[in-house]
Structure 1
């Protein structure tokens, strides 16, 4: 059940730290937020300045490839926002990845991620979809006009969902036409929060 969909300010364009762990807890004015899931596509490690292809059905770290193929981008190939790697949702064609994690029923969860696009090929407008438990949750749209490997132009995107069970499946899909140069995502974080803090 979806509660709200909202954008967020731009994210930092380059990162250099290690991966996040899903035990992080931050306090925010009205209550406590805890991380249910966090991943920056740092596993498996890809050789610097290259990328690795993963096809539907394969496991890629904690993610499962759900649609055709994706490219996991290694360090220094282009900018990342968390750690040194990121994910192009297109491999040779439109791809997708999904992950499942534990949640508490009737709690609100804020999903956030950093979004850019592969600047190496057209079209300039990269499109995709985020699904939660198979239901559409947010459209992905990113314009790569004026962007480059050294200036990816990442923006922070977010939306809020209400958990109705003890687990949640989060999926990112590319719908870019033609496929091959898709949306790029990094720093996916899902936080449990009081509803007033999520909106």
Structure 2
């Protein structure tokens, strides 16, 4: 496929909020929690420019791990990133998911923000997926690729918050779209809320 290499300088993020309370963490599959959430822009490892790498369940993208199916790690210039150079298509050759486990303070509230788009190369027009916290569905999402292009992906911002129940928490982004062109995620940020955080 041939894609334009042009990139937009700025991305307008629209915020849609959702709040829920996490249940105790389930088994993390032997993965140690990071001391803090890291690499929310999927910048490591670097993928050759204008290309992508498919990763399957059990493989890692820096601190993230592919927990099911397959995903594509998109390199610089292949299409527009929301932040940095790289992003993740949650569908590789099939429906996939990525997760990261990091340390948390039990009882503390955390805010999660992320940029959402969709692979514009193929149907379906509406890409769907969900965000899970410790295995529990916290937010379903959808993105319509109509009118979007590799140079203008149309990223939108999404937000949710959770109350940590344990010393570590696992955050998962999972596609619910069939096929090889799924929702695209980038610029994931996790911050502990102070008393004023809403």
- 1:120 Cα deviation after fit: 0.2
- 1:194 Cα deviation after fit: 2.1
Residue equivalent to 2:194: 194
TM-score, length-normalised on structure 2?
0.81
- 1:37 Cα deviation after fit: 1.9
Q: Map of 1:123-162 to 2, 5 A cutoff?
A: 123-162=124-163
Residue equivalent to 1:185: 185
Structure 2 CA distance for aligned equivalents of residues 128 and 153 of structure 1: 17
Residue equivalent to 2:103: 102
Structure 1 CA distance for aligned equivalents of residues 65 and 79 of structure 2: 23
Match of 2:11 among 13, 21, 25: 13
- 1:195 Cα deviation after fit: 4.7
Structure 1 CA distance for aligned equivalents of residues 144 and 46 of structure 2: 28
Residues 21-56 of structure 1 show CA distances to partners (whole Å, capped at 9, x for unaligned) of xxxxxxxxxxxxxx9424210001000000001000
- 1:192 Cα deviation after fit: 0.1
- 1:81 Cα deviation after fit: 1.4
Residues 193 and 36 of structure 1: CA distance in aligned 2, closer, same or farther (over 3 Å): farther
Q: Would the aligned equivalents of 1:36 and 1:192 in 2 still touch at CA under 8 Å?
A: no
Secondary structure of the residue that 2:117 maps to in structure 1? strand
Structure 2 CA distance for aligned equivalents of residues 115 and 83 of structure 1: 14
Q: Which has the higher strand share?
A: 1
Structure 1 CA distance for aligned equivalents of residues 189 and 65 of structure 2: 17
Secondary structure of the residue that 1:13 maps to in structure 2? coil
Structure 1 CA distance for aligned equivalents of residues 85 and 48 of structure 2: 11
Residue equivalent to 2:37: 37
Residues 154 and 69 of structure 1: CA distance in aligned 2, closer, same or farther (over 3 Å): same
- 1:82 Cα deviation after fit: 1.4
Q: Would the aligned equivalents of 1:13 and 1:151 in 2 still touch at CA under 8 Å?
A: no
Q: Would the aligned equivalents of 1:40 and 1:187 in 2 still touch at CA under 8 Å?
A: yes
Structure 2 CA distance for aligned equivalents of residues 114 and 36 of structure 1: 20
Residue equivalent to 1:116: 117
Q: Pairwise CA RMSD of aligned residues? A: 1.5
Structure 2 CA distance for aligned equivalents of residues 195 and 69 of structure 1: 39
Structure 1 unaligned blocks of 5 or more: 1-11, 15-34
